[in-house]
Amino acid sequence: MLHHLFKAHYPSVKSAKIIFDKSTGLSKCYGFVQFGDVDEQIQALTKMNGAYCSTRPMRIGPVPKKKSMYPNV
């Protein structure tokens, strides 16, 4: 569903993944979309924010950078 929603607006979408709880099998209500075109990615960050996926509005943002285990290296 997420892949089709973004692909309809942005042809460069490579993949979309919704994260599920392993114990319940239910959605954790977040996911990731990968783009092939940086311009489309930037456009989606603003235009898809608040758009509905099924019955819920999406909150769109970049993936935060992982914290290093060795911050002083």
CATH topology of domain 2-57: Alpha-Beta Plaits (3.30.70)
Report yes or no: 14 and 35 within 8 Å, Cβ to Cβ: yes
Listed as ranges, residues in the chain with pLDDT below 70 are: 71-73
Is the whole model's pTM more than 0.85, yes or no? no
Token pair for residue 37? 């075109």
Residue 14 phi, psi dihedral angles, 5° rounding? -95, -40
What's the pLDDT score for residue 15?
96
